[in-house]
Chains A and B, each alone.
Chain A
């Protein structure tokens, strides 16, 4: 089955740029989606289809995807960005459809 690998944690100072990676075999050929989850809350979609933002998501959130790594970039990080972030892909290439999540990355704002 397809595996997505994220770093367990990323730390960044306010105002700086956070980059959260998501590794997978030839992930550049798939559409990658990113979710933000704060404690006690449901996940929220922040980036879909590698680099598109849903309405209401600040432009500070952006994404890229190439080769074996997808990246969520959060510019001008704010205290309110502190959360867990998950990448996700949809494996629709076989009869065994599956949705795959990365293990999640805890973003700490110093």
Chain B
């Protein structure tokens, strides 16, 4: 059974940093495209970042230069390092297994809430 479990969210001050984790089971993270998608309170879904099976990474313009996606193959875990956080980064962050054929998200984690506030 495929499972994705995010952790690492919490309250952080503007300008601070946070690292999110997404532990996967039932499949191999390194063999798949893996993404982070966020949802601000009361708002819609927004793509944040993706890492390809080959290791290439891409970011939304809103987070480029501040966020870094990575993975630990030995732990079968996806990460999102978030630096220079802003109030507008406040959101629930989901990790999702992404199908490389046409880019859909077949499996989602339950999400972890990041709140950026002083």
Q: Do A and B bind each other?
A: yes
Query: What residues make up the interface of A, taking CB atoms closer than 8 Å to B?
Result: 31, 33, 35, 37, 42-45, 48-49, 54, 84, 86, 88-90, 92, 96-104
Nearest-neighbour CB distance to chain A for B21, whole angstroms, equals 16
Assembled-state Cα–Cα distance A45/B37 (Å) = 14
Q: How many A-B residue pairs have CB under 8 A?
A: 64
Contact of B102 among A43, A48, A102 (CB under 8 A): A48
8 pairs, CB–CB < 8 Å, chain A vs chain B? A42-B94, A43-B108, A97-B58, A98-B47, A98-B58, A99-B35, A99-B50, A101-B46
**Most chain-B Cβ atoms within 10 A of its Cβ — which of A43, A49, A92?**
A43
The smallest C-beta distance from A20 to any residue of chain B, in angstroms, reads 14
* A49 x B108 contact (CB < 8 A): no
Decide: A98 and B60 in contact? CB cutoff 8 A: yes
Q: Are B103 and A45 in contact (CB under 8 A)?
A: no
Shortest Cβ distance from B6 into chain A, in angstroms?
10
CB of B44 closer than 8 Å to a CB of A: yes
Q: Which of B42-60 contact A (CB under 8 A)?
A: 44-47, 50, 58, 60
Mark B residues whose CB is within 8 Å of A. Answer: 35, 37, 44-47, 50, 58, 60, 94, 98-99, 101-106, 108-111
Q: Given the complex, which residues of A lie within 8 Å of B106, measured CB to CB?
A: 45, 48, 54
B102 contacts which chain A residues (CB < 8 A)?
A: 31, 33, 48-49, 90
CA distance A88 to B35 in the complex (A): 14
> A99–B108 contact, CB under 8 A?
no
Query: How far is the CB of B47 from the nearest CB of chain A, in Å?
Result: 4
Contacts of A97 in B (CB 8 A): 50, 58
Least CB separation from B111: chain A residue: A42
What distance in Å separates the Cβ of A52 from its nearest Cβ neighbour in chain B?
Answer: 9
Chain B minimum-CB-distance residue to A105: B44
CA distance A102 to B44 in the complex (A): 8
Residue of A nearest to B60 (CB): A98
Contact for A43 among B46, B103, B105, CB less than 8 A = B105
